[in-house]
A and B are shown apart, each in its own frame.
Chain A
Amino acid sequence: MKPAPFTYHDPAAISDVLALLGEHEDSRLLAGGQSLMPMMNFRFVQPAHLIDLNRVKELGFIRADADTLAFGAMTRQRQIQRDASIRQSCPIMIEALSHVGHRQTRARGTIGGSISHFDPSAELCNMAVLHDAQFVLARKGSRRTLGFDQFARGYMSTAIEPDEMLQEIHLHRWAKPQGFAFEEFAMRHGDFAICAVSCLVTLSGSGAIDALAIAISGVAPIPQRLRNFETAARGQMPDHTLYREAALQAAAIEAMSDAYTTADYRRHLARVLTYRAVEKAAARFKSQGMT
């Protein structure tokens, strides 16, 4: 299983990357290689040009701003996992990352690579939709920023144009304290999630829901939020009735089907995992003693 021949480029600056993208139509960007290299080894993809991003230092950074967490596209998953500021401000990200492949995967895999690959089972795609991510796309001479709904086109398909690259990912940052939960079902540890449900919640002084976000991945072709429910839940008490209602909403989303996994099972998991996620997130908030 050897890759087909290509012309290799290893630019050191973003501007060089963009120039190459503009010049070579049949090209692929090589980030961590954990998704692209298997496809190339299987010869499912055979790009004429391979543009290696691993020398572009300016693409690797983590920055905590007032309202956002900004990641350079080439930031390694392993680095994010070990970052003290992320652990502090966005612990759900750390938990989600613990499910991403195995340590060797995360050693090379990048946040930008995972997101531009846009596998609906990918934990980082779940994190993106959960945090109302904004994506900075660059092409030669210009940049644009897209919200998640504009970025996500379909099954493993994004708005990134052939001559564009994903440069930065900005996650909306939730103020502390926050309750969080990440419930994933995969057949084995590190496998792609058949279904993952993430939840962020804050409760007011009375214990009622102040803010809520629920993201479901692995079920629909694009990771989903339960936005209607999130809005309706404000002011409600987190209890069995609420968790069950969240679960029923989750069970109604569109679900993929393949030889291994039925749509019914995916929807079923969305239902039961959503219940667990909201329940756990609320409990976690309370156990921080803020209510």
Chain B
Amino acid sequence: MSETSFGASPKRKEDPDLLTGRGRFVDDIVLPDMYAAAFVRSPLAHARIKSIDTKAALAMPGVHAVISYHDLPATLRERRLPLFVPHPTLTPRMQNALAKEEVCYVGEPVAVVVADNRYLAEDALQLVDVDYEPLAAVSDCKAGARPDAPRAHLDLESNIASRMLSSVGDIEGAFRDAEHVFREEIFQHRGGAFFMECRGVIANYDAAEGALLIYVSSQGAHRIKRALLDLFDLSDTQVRVVTPDVGGGFGPKGSFYAEYAVIAACAMMLGHPVKWIEDRRENFVATHQERDQYWDVEIAVDDAARIRGLRGTLTHDNGAYTPWGIVLPWISVATVPGPYVVPAYHLEMRSVLTNKVMATPVRGAGRPEGVVVMERLMDRVAREFKLDPAEVRRRNFIQPSQMPYNVGVVFRDGRKVVYDSGDYPACQAAALQTIDYDTFRKRQAEARQQGRYIGIGIGNAVEGTGLGPYEGAAVKVATNGRITVSTGATPQGQSHKTTLAQIAADQFGVPIDAIRVETGDTSKISQGIGTFAARTAVNAGSSVHLASVKVAAKAKAIAAKLLDVREEDLELRDGYVQLAAIPGSSGAASDNARQMRKSLAELAVVAAGMPGFAMQDGAEPGLESTAYFTATQSTYANGTAVVEVEVDIETGRVTILRLILTHDCGRLINPMVVDGQVMGGVAHAIGNALFERMLFDDQAQPLSTNFGEYLLPLATDVPRIEIVHQETPSPLNPLGIKGAGESGTIPTIAPIVAAVEDALSPFGVKILETPITPQRIVELLGDAALGRTR
């Protein structure tokens, strides 16, 4: 293994530019004669638009257009934003590019102002006069599901957009004869991704060429393009979407937003490039979020604390429209069983429309919610049985010998959840060993003597990764010998340019700097999906591998003919195809061997053919190959998080003392990158568990609209994270890899909450909500929180 190949941790190719201020994010891109846009957005969660008066705004110097629904081109008026993930149980509701007659969430785009610069555009916003008639709004999804609730859209018969049942085994039987049944109601609250770079798009329409060029900070250039093709009736080659450097995505940048269609239309109508950069105020109300979720669940166990069945309901806050169908709550439902044997499972999900901004996948994509549900139930069982929570879990683990294990539920990839590989008991054991679990109760007792309250929590998770349908890679050696890898993957910090280069470099025997990796440009590869859901290493990585293998093989085939040697005797190294060194050879034999080589450039020239001459053996031209690795199903990674906390019972403050993550994502392309992803994911979990509250009032008016109100974890809030690696290779792709992008988040929220509850166990406090805040802890403690002041 070379120092840059698969499994090594070379430093990133992305770094030099990013470190020196030469990154190229959407807002850094300047096109000649470019205008700036700003959106008029609904200040009300639900209202009828009575009139829009744009005269004063249009009259402002420097303003070039003020466009509302009726000014949009015909296709944007006739068509709604496309839905890419329909489902038989879903009654979809998709958005217009600009609100037509009714606005359904605070922040919904109503009109756009295009001006010389953003300062002027914002000045003009204040002059646009929209007359709204307020309507009753749906704020809470449980209330919204009631038949007498106001409708989130006036023409809805019901706010329930989907009812879906996941059912495995004989649930009636499981509960009928159950020795013990425990019930919990768990609330998991809204939150957002809050990438540091807000959304943004530039559209440029070259009328002479009929070409629409889009720069967009997104997680899927091809999906953006697909939506634009649906909305604008342009031909495939007329639309090019490019994602430059992206400052964080975490899910919500994977959606196609109304603003992108509107800005494209503006560019086409005005004949100038138009740039729109979301500011943080807009980001709070118009970028997709995740959750609320209300769970009402029961677990049936036998006398040995083994699960017989689990059933219940999930009421999920979808927000005002359905851009992601039911993907998010579906993932939550499918994740609940986790690494445990659950012989019977029956979960009714309803996804409810509310007058809030849409809920779509955010890091973890519904999986952390499922883990919280199962792990809270396991802790309940442990408490009722007076058993060690680790032991309860041990008794219920799926054993490695049972792999592949069919859970029975259907995952959002349309396939049954079949865990392909993983050793769950070993994963938990490793985490417990690292945190010195066996001595914890003693330490806890000693702490209590001193008036200190410490607690420990465990979270186990299995996560579907490497989601299909595919990701492609086009590997090409140009006639000058330079190697390029193009993929539809769209990184937002995941280091694809380095990791994918590592995979290709292995096949070509070159350092990673010799491989140029292009991502997120629809003109560089025909089909693509994008980077989200921890799918890129598996899909794009496998494709890069497959395509590189093919190109290397072709290079050897051509070289073998030219050199009149056997293909098996050749190797690729440092830009050449040459005779592999014969062990023990030296001197003349060695010199000879060095003559017997061809550069990649020469081989590529041969492969390109010469005008007038037939191609050799009818071979396909070009030293290139495009592969689309198709995952037959998701490959399942797993992890265990164990967290130790201290709770100050007088203030409710939670301090994380230790945080261990044992993590199995199969073989690692670049361990340093994986660790970085894991640590970042843990920070998101800490935010979700302890800090992030996205509040709305009872008319669905957002109350959290800046970073002073919505709290993200800072460097003083995230402890050192101890990561222990396990490696159970995936049998489902050529490299044996699984996804890692969300694995720091998914198992980690549950044990933080559990640890707080454990710390407060002398007071009988139960915690069934996330986030859990100091204020809430004090409320739950009652008089006990008075401490020494009692």
Contacts and interface: CB of A to CB of B under 8 A. Distances in A.
B786 A185 contact: no
Contact of B281 (A1, A5, A240, A260): A1
Contacts of B714: 188-190
A187 interface: yes
A191 B708 CA distance: 7
A70 B382 CA distance: 62
B778 interface: yes
Contact of B693 (A2, A190, A260, A265): A260
A275 B785 CA distance: 13
Contacts of B279: 1
B2 interface: no
Contacts of B650: 272
Given A2-B122, A185-B651, A265 B280 contact: no
Contacts of A261: 775
Contacts of B709: 260
Given A188-B717, A259-B703, A272 B789 contact: yes
A192 B716 contact: no
B711 A2 contact: no
B774 interface: yes
Contacts of B123: 4-5
A2 B695 contact: no
A262 B713 CA distance: 22
A189 B126 CA distance: 36
A106 interface: no
Contacts of A201: none
A269 B122 contact: no
Contacts of A191: 708, 711
Interface string A247-272: 11001000000011110110011011
Contacts, number: 74
B573 interface: no
Contact of A187 (B118, B703, B711, B787): B711
A8 interface: no
Contact of B789 (A187, A248, A259, A262): A248
B122 A265 contact: no
B653 interface: yes
Contact of B786 (A240, A260, A271): A271
A272 B774 CA distance: 13
A43 interface: yes
B763 interface: no
B117 to A, nearest CB: 9
A155 interface: no
B119 interface: yes
Interface residues of B, number: 34
Contact of B716 (A2, A189, A251, A260): A189
B691 A268 contact: no
A49 to B, nearest CB: 17
B711 A188 contact: yes
A251 B691 CA distance: 25
Interface in B99-132: 118-119, 122-123, 126
B697 interface: yes
A28 B697 CA distance: 32
B249 to A, nearest CB: 22
Nearest to B790: A244
B50 interface: no
B690 to A, nearest CB: 9
Nearest to A102: B714
A268 B703 CA distance: 24
Nearest to A268: B778
A192 B711 CA distance: 12
Nearest to A38: B706
B785 A2 contact: no
Contact of B691 (A4, A187, A265, A273): A187
Contacts of A262: 775
B788 interface: yes
| A38, A191, A244, A268: most-surrounded residue (chain B CB, <10 A) | A268
A259 B224 CA distance: 37
Contacts of B774: 185, 187
Contact of B787 (A190, A192, A272): A272
A188 B789 contact: no
Contacts of A265: 775, 778-779
Nearest to B717: A188
A192 B785 contact: no
Interface residues of A, number: 32
B789 A244 contact: yes
Nearest to A183: B651
A187 B787 CA distance: 20
Interface in B657-715: 691, 693, 695, 697, 703, 706, 708-709, 711, 713-714
Interface in B694-749: 695, 697, 703, 706, 708-709, 711, 713-714, 716-717
Contacts of A248: 789
Nearest to A4: B123
A190 B787 CA distance: 26
A273 B652 CA distance: 12
A188 B691 contact: yes
Contacts of A38: 706
A86 to B, nearest CB: 25
Nearest to A244: B789
A73 to B, nearest CB: 24
Interface in B746-786: 773-775, 778-779, 785-786
Interface string A190-217: 1110000000000000000000000000
Contacts of B716: 188-189
A269 B788 contact: no
A31 B735 CA distance: 59
A22 to B, nearest CB: 28
Contacts of A260: 693, 695, 703, 709
Contacts of B773: 187
Contacts of A185: 651, 653, 774
A247 B787 CA distance: 11
A247 B650 CA distance: 12
B280 A1 contact: yes
B651 A272 contact: yes
B124 to A, nearest CB: 11
A75 to B, nearest CB: 24
Contacts of A5: 123
Contacts of B651: 185, 269, 272-273
A115 to B, nearest CB: 19
Contacts of A272: 650-651, 785-789
A217 B385 CA distance: 46
Contacts of A243: 788-789
Nearest to A42: B281
Interface string A32-73: 000000100011000000000000000000000000000000
A1 B789 CA distance: 46
Contacts of A259: 695, 697, 703
Contact of A271 (B119, B126, B789): B789
A192 B708 contact: yes
A1 B285 CA distance: 14
Contact of B788 (A42, A188, A240): A240
Interface in B270-284: 279-281
Contacts of A187: 691, 711, 773-774
B118 A2 contact: yes
Interface of B: 118-119, 122-123, 126, 279-281, 650-651, 653, 691, 693, 695, 697, 703, 706, 708-709, 711, 713-714, 716-717, 773-775, 778-779, 785-789
Nearest 7 pairs of A and B residues by beta carbon: A272-B650, A247-B789, A189-B716, A1-B279, A265-B775, A2-B119, A259-B703
Given A185-B774, A240-B788, A268-B786, 17 more contacts: A1-B280, A1-B281, A4-B122, A42-B281, A42-B706, A185-B651, A185-B653, A188-B691, A188-B711, A188-B713, A189-B716, A260-B695, A265-B775, A268-B785, A272-B786, A272-B787, A275-B787
8 contacts: A2-B119, A4-B123, A42-B706, A191-B711, A259-B703, A271-B789, A273-B651, A275-B787
